[in-house]
Amino acid sequence: MNDLALETYLGHSKERILATLTDWLRIPSVSADPSRAGDVVASAEFCARLLREAGIPSVELLATGSADEPGSGRPAVYGEWLGAGKDAPTVLIYGHHDVQPVDPVDEWTSPPFEPAVVGDQLLARGSSDDKGQVLMQIEAVRGVLAERGRLPVNVKFLIEGEEEVGSPHLEDLLWRERDRLATDLIVVSDTTMEAADIPSTTVSMRGLVSFDVTLRTARSDLHSGIWGGTVPNAALLASRLAASLHDGDGRVTVPGFYDDVRELTEQEARSLAAIPFDEAKFCQQAGVAYLEGEAGRSPFQRTGARPTAEVVGIHSGYGGPDIKTIVPATANFKVAFRLVPDQRPEQVAEGFQQWLAAHVPAGVQVKAKPCGAVSPLLTPVDHPAMRILSSAIERVWGTEPLFSRGGGSGPEEALGRVLAAPLIFLGVALPDDNFHAPNESLDLRQLWRGILAAGELLVDLGSYRVVP
């Protein structure tokens, strides 16, 4: 490890870095809470100060919002260091400074915005998702500048403030600032590794298509004693539709759903197979008694490499105390499809509309409202930037990283598409860090390794050349 670029720097900086992160985590930058809007701004200003202190000469807050309400969104932070020159590669580092709500607060073992260190764990909302990982990248740039006086690549930071509410204004921001944000490569640090002793890197993110479906079977709810047994029941129909989304093998029944699904490469399949899986622990973490899903596919394949359809809500009839004897006239269910390469959101959406038309009886009013669409993304494991990242991770962790596919969907697809650049993922959070849940934490050993790996990556990317 003596050859690592930032080993000496990190050796005398840990106390300061931990204090800095602790101060940042005290800012309750909950983007979903309108009453915390000022805190999100304060978090952005704190991040901007960190970039300036790291040696980034040009830093500013970027306003976000809709065309009708400019500036109505939460601010992003932009910074750039272009001292490597026009012939050197340019790297854009993406992350976010907003955090999830803390509910239920009574399940936290310590106050969510009063950071606490317990052993090697730093507990606080935002510790792993994503302030700790953003600071990891900032400190890597700061360290390389401190140790070498310059970077071998031009670096741009884009740290947004709306990721936890779906990045509603990010794509508009990307198009508006496209020339300034132009880059050869995007580095994302908002993902996980499989385990502290099993380094891995994400190579894809799933896409997303979702619908809010409403059904009406009658003008109004009907007396179940008079009409029951003769008229269609909206609650029963919604239940049947939800159950019909999958066949007996757990496969989605939407026409053409699997037509364009790209199978794992041999290298990816080996990586997934090499990850240890403890079913009992997995169930315990989820709080469930058993697992289910597409037959013939492992849990790791189902959560990242295979497309899914989930009923994320179903509502109908009377939900108050005791009972109300009616035949419900209306029902609602919500469906979210996670997509994998090379599925296209518009094709899946069309297939779902066809499926509904075939399954809803004549005379029932049905409306399927689209609730957004995101395309999947994939960086091939043999991409030159992936090889550079893998080498950096291997030098720090001492073993070659495995390749995993991310199960979630986020703004990364828009980043790659609008900026026309490949993405690589250097994430160090762990599956049991409780992001989005009470007692979110960050393993400090992962943070220190992450800073070292981010430094190695910055140095090695000096040799990166754009792939046509």
Q: What is the pLDDT of residues 276-310, one digit of tens each?
A: 899 999 999 889 999 999 999 999 999 999 999 99
Beta carbons of 75 and 89 less than 8 angstroms apart: no
Task: Answer yes or no: is pLDDT of 467 > 70.
Answer: no
Domain map (residue ranges) of the chain? 7-205+376-463, 207-261+307-373
pLDDT level of residue 1 (50, 70, 90 thresholds) = very low
pLDDT tens digits, 39-96: 999 999 999 999 999 999 999 999 999 877 778 899 999 999 999 999 999 999 999 9
Comparing 71-75, 126-130, 257-261, the range with the smallest average pLDDT is 71-75
Comparing 11-15, 155-159, 271-275, the range with the smallest average pLDDT is 271-275
Angle at 322 between CA 316 and CA 323, to 5 degrees: 50
Task: Answer yes or no: is pLDDT of 124 > 50.
Answer: yes
Q: In whole numbers, what is the pLDDT of the chain averaged over residues?
A: 95
Class of domain 207-261+307-373: alpha beta
Task: Answer yes or no: is pLDDT of 410 > 90.
Answer: no
* pLDDT at residue 393, as a whole number: 98
What CA–CA distance (Å, rounded) separates 326 from 225?
8
Residues 6+ apart with CB under 8 A from 12: none
Domain 7-205+376-463 in CATH: superfamily?
Answer: Zn peptidases (3.40.630.10)
Q: What are the C-alpha distances in Å from 317 to residues 10, 224, 225, 405, 467?
A: 60, 12, 15, 39, 56
pLDDT tens digits, 151-171: 999 999 999 999 999 899 999
Q: Do domains 7-205+376-463 and 207-261+307-373 have the same CATH topology?
A: no
Mean pLDDT, residues 391-405 taken together:
96
Cα atoms in the 13 Å half-sphere on the side-chain side of 398: 4
Q: Give CB contacts under 8 A, 24+ apart, made by 398-403.
A: 399/199, 400/199, 401/193, 401/199, 401/200, 401/201, 402/194, 402/198, 402/199, 402/200, 402/201, 402/271, 402/272, 402/274, 402/275, 403/200, 403/201, 403/203, 403/267, 403/268, 403/271, 403/272
Supply the pTM of this predicted model: 0.89
Cα torsion through 167, 262, 348, 288, rounded to 10:
-70
